[in-house]
Amino acid sequence: MLKKIILIFVVLFIVLIAGVYFARNYLAEKAVEEGGTYALGVDTDLGSASLELSGGSFEMNDYKIDNPEGFEAEYFFVLKRGMLDVDAGSVLDDEVVVDSFVLEGVHMAIEIIDQKANFKVLLDHLNQLDFGEESSEEARFKINEINVRDIAVSASLTLMGKKQLDKEFSLDAFTLKNVGGDNGATIAEITSTVMKAMIKKASSSAQSLGFNVDIDQLKQEAKEKIEEEAAKQLKEIGGSLLKGAGK
């Protein structure tokens, strides 16, 4: 009888621990998604989150940021894996001190359609935010450094319905130091800091690869090309009609 009681307590304890573990992972996952969506103004989705019960480390996988409405790519940003090592406290405490936060396996899709750019839509939203409106109860992070590596970018330029440029390139790894400063930063603020840095680096590289073109000039060239093709087609149609009338 005693063995059965002990076994029941062991099973209940395991179930309790498992419940706490999955609840913490769920809460961490939702916190990342809600912070990203608030910062960027588009839906974000985190595939999975794994938080050690001791609070010593946190891993996130398959984090995706939707493309703003009106652009072609399904996602603006995809992250394969993020790893956070906590020096003191835990991820869900009010204040978390972090040694390092590593983001690896990044893909960013930059799109310019006529004179509208997806990254500018996101930047405009970031620059208009008042982070003071966030809940004072949210956890704040003091991060010694954020390391971003293995970064791929696709960039496309479409004018008047026709794609003018389409390139793939990679970015060098980079590090952000002392994120959060003395007061710490919320998840939304961290998202803002990282995305602003990545957009700046990606757009700068895109310009060096030919995306610093004169948009108005390209539009004029595209317009002239369309008019030239239309005139050619009309001429061919006219010729066909004349031949038909001469029969």
List pLDDT tens digits, range 196-217.
999 999 888 877 766 654 445 5
**Tally of CB atoms within 10 A around 186:** 21
Q: Residue 151: how many CB atoms within 10 A of its CB? A: 22
Based on the structure, what is the number of domains in the chain? 2
Q: What is the mean pLDDT of residues 240-246?
A: 49
Question: Alpha-carbon distance 38 to 221, whole Å?
Answer: 40
- Statement to judge: residues 121 and 233 lie in one domain: no
Please tell me whether residues 181 and 227 are part of one structural domain.
no
Domain match, 158 and 102 both: yes
Asked if residue 166 and residue 46 are part of one domain, the reply reads yes
The C-alpha atoms of residue 91 and residue 82 are separated, in whole angstroms, by 14
* 107 and 41 in a common domain: yes
Confidence (pTM) = 0.74
79 and 120 in a single domain? The answer is yes
Q: Which helix (H) or strand (E) holds 64?
A: strand 57-66
59 and 47, same domain (yes or no) = yes
- Claim to verify: residue 109 and residue 137 sit in the same structural domain: yes
In this structure, are residues 89 and 54 in contact, taking their beta carbons and an 8 Å threshold?
no
Q: Which domain holds residue 222?
A: 215-247
pLDDT over threshold 60, residue 29: yes
Q: Hey, which residues does 100 pair with through a beta bridge?
A: 85, 145
| Sequence letter at residue 126 | L
| Residue 238: pLDDT over 60 | no
DSSP H/E element including 166: strand 162-171
Domain match, 134 and 229 both: no
Q: What is the pLDDT of residue 9?
A: 42
Residues 228, 190 share a domain: no
pLDDT tens digits, residue range 143-198? 999 999 999 999 888 877 787 788 899 999 999 999 988 888 999 999 999 999 99
Closest CA to 95 of 104, 86, 82: 86
| Best mean pLDDT range from 46-50, 141-145, 232-236 | 141-145
Whether residues 104 and 224 share a domain: the answer is no
136 shares its domain with 229: no
Q: If you average pLDDT over residues 92-105, what whole number do you get?
A: 83
Find all residues with CB under 8 Å of 150, minimum gap 6, and list them. Answer: 80, 104, 105, 106, 173
Treating both helix axes as pointing N-terminal to C-terminal, what angle do 187-206 and 2-40 enclose, rounded to 10 degrees?
Answer: 50
